[in-house]
């Protein structure tokens, strides 16, 4: 089946979404954490209703926009969801000005603030030669992560609604807040969404599938020092900053992100704030293997206990909590969603590429809420900064892939 996605409309949608400042902020007690996300959510509600989707709504309790495309076949078939996030990362997102570069030829793109996009610095730009490249203006991020995913999802709905001859089962759409700060999916209504499985659209390389994520924990360490005048410090001063350095030095030197790749885990000192009297260190702990993950947490706590030994009372105190788990432990029990994604990618003329994702997605949490949710591509590169780019054609491949997946799922031709 040949699929012709409406690329001019998809491009216009993406640019419209990109111009809304949806940067999220941690530590806020509202959902979404920023009003721009609600602005984009309301825009999507109106657009999805105009397209003709059913049950379109914005849940004020969790900030998710959801919508339903009913099945158009009587044949029993699995239902699936398509999910993308509204927010962008912690980089300037005010006054985003998308720039369109038709028939990109690989020549340097220079921005007025002195930054440049070059193939020499970013070799992945080669994949966009001959395509319509979209960038920011060098002063903000573009919002590819994840507004390209949103645009691809909406283009999928538009195509399927306009082509009832393409048979499909029930498909649900979900657009949620605060993925970048790791809190949005905590409130996802999996029971209400109620699909057999789903996909997030939250990484770049066309054809890519990710279903292995880290197991993740965060540890906040507070250190009590003793501050006295340095001229009288002998045998009295206990420098909390020095103790913090001792903690970091006690962890394995090469178990850090800068020395790790593939399935290797790590400890990362994320923040270190301190004075002589007190200090706070924030670590994240990551591993793909659940047993190794638990062993890392135990090692961390053992290290803390050992550092406390010389003192008459604990100088190191730890608060540790798990953040998310490796969804592969669930998805491997029934790999049908992976096989369907591979078949859809192949039908769209691409080669499936399955890689471990060295992070987490909303799908990590949604999977453990009962809906297996691997991650698919959104077509962009250089996320979270002024060098973000995507092409109109790459976003079109998202929609083309999802349409093929919908048809293949309904036909029952994928094992």
Annotated catalytic residue, options 13, 87, 146, 255: 87
Residue-wise pLDDT tens for the chain (415 aa)?
Answer: 789 999 999 999 999 999 999 999 998 989 999 999 999 999 999 999 999 999 999 999 999 999 999 999 999 999 999 999 999 999 999 999 999 999 999 999 999 999 999 999 999 999 999 999 999 999 999 999 999 999 999 999 999 999 999 999 999 999 999 999 989 999 999 999 999 999 999 987 899 999 999 999 999 999 999 999 999 999 999 999 999 999 999 999 999 999 999 999 999 999 999 999 999 999 999 999 999 999 999 999 999 999 999 999 999 999 999 999 999 999 999 999 999 999 999 999 999 999 999 988 899 999 999 999 999 999 999 999 999 999 999 999 999 999 999 999 999 999 8
What pLDDT does residue 415 have?
Answer: 85
Does the annotation count 87 as an active-site position?
yes
- What pLDDT score was predicted for residue 203? 82
Q: Which of 145, 146, 179, 180 is catalytic?
A: 179
Q: Please confirm, yes or no, whether 258 is among the known catalytic residues.
A: no
User: What CA–CA distance (Å, rounded) separates 343 from 347?
Assistant: 6
* CA–CA distance, 92 with 215 (Å, rounded to integer): 29
**Residue 27 pLDDT:** 87
- According to the model, what pLDDT value does residue 1 have? 74
pTM: 0.92
What confidence tens digit (pLDDT) does each residue in 156-195 have?
999 999 999 999 999 999 999 999 998 999 999 999 999 9
SS (HEC) of the chain: CCCCCCHHHHHHHHHHHHCCCCECCCCCCCCCCCHHHHHHHHHHHHHHHHHCCEEEEECCCCCCEEEEECCCCCCCCCCEEEEEECCECCCCCCCCCCEEECCCCCCCEECCCCCEECCCCCHHHHHHCCCCEEECCCCCCCCHHHHHHHHHHHHHHHHHHHCCCCCCCCEEEEEECCCCCCCHHHHCCHHHHCCCEEEEEEECCCCEEECCECEEEEEEEEEECECCCHHHCCCCCECHHHHHHHHHHHCCCCCCHHHCCCCCCEEEEEEEEECCCEEEEEEEEEECCHHHHHHHHHHHHHHHHHHHCCCCCCCEEEEEEEEECCCHHHHCCCCHHHHHHHHHHHHCCCCCEECCECCCCHHHHHHCCCCCCCEEECCCECCCCCCCEEEHHHHHHHHHHHHHHHHHHHHCCCC
Angle at 402 between CA 401 and CA 404, to 5 degrees: 65
What does the pLDDT read at residue 218? 97
């Amino acid at each position: 089946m040949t699929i012709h996605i409406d690329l001019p409309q998809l491009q216009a949608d993406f640019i419209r979404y990109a111009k809304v400042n949806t940067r999220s902020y941690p530590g806020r007690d509202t959902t979404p954490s920023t009003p721009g996300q609600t602005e984009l959510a309301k825009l999507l509600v109106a657009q999805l209703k105009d397209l003709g989707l059913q049950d379109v709504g914005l849940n004020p309790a969790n900030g998710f926009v959801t919508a339903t495309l009913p099945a158009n076949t009587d044949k029993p078939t699995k239902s699936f969801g398509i999910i993308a996030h509204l927010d962008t990362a912690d980089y300037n997102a005010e006054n985003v000005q998308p720039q369109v570069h038709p028939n990109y030829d690989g020549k340097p793109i220079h921005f007025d603030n002195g930054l440049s996009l070059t193939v020499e610095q970013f070799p992945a730009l080669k994949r966009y030669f001959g395509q319509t490249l979209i960038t920011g203006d060098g002063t903000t991020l573009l919002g590819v992560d994840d507004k390209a995913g949103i645009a691809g999802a909406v283009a999928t709905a538009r195509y399927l609604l306009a082509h009832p001859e393409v048979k499909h089962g029930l498909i649900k759409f979900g657009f949620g807040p605060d993925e970048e700060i790791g809190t949005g999916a905590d409130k996802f209504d999996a029971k209400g969404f109620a699909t057999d499985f789903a996909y997030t659209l939250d990484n770049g390389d066309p054809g890519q599938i990710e279903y292995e994520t880290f197991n993740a924990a965060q540890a906040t360490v507070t250190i009590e020092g003793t501050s006295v005048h340095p001229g009288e410090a002998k045998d009295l001063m206990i420098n909390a900053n020095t103790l913090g350095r001792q903690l970091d030095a006690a962890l394995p030197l090469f178990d850090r992100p800068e020395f790790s790749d593939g399935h290797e885990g790590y400890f990362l000192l994320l923040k270190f704030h301190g004075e002589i009297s007190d200090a706070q260190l924030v670590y994240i702990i990551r591993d793909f293997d659940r047993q190794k993950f638990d062993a890392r947490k135990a090692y961390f706590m053992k290290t803390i206990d050992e550092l406390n030994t010389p003192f008459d009372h604990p100088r190191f105190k730890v608060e540790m909590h798990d953040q998310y788990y490796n969804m592969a432990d669930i998805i491997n029990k029934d790999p049908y969603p992976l096989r369907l994604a591979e078949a859809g990618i192949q039908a769209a003329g691409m080669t499936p590429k399955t890689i471990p994702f060295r992070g987490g997605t909303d799908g990590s949490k949604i999977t453990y809420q009962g809906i297996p949710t691997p991650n698919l591509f959104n077509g962009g590169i250089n996320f979270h900064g002024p060098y973000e780019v995507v092409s109109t054609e790459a976003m079109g491949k998202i929609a083309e892939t999802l349409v093929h997946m919908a048809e293949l799922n309904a036909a029952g031709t994928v094992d």
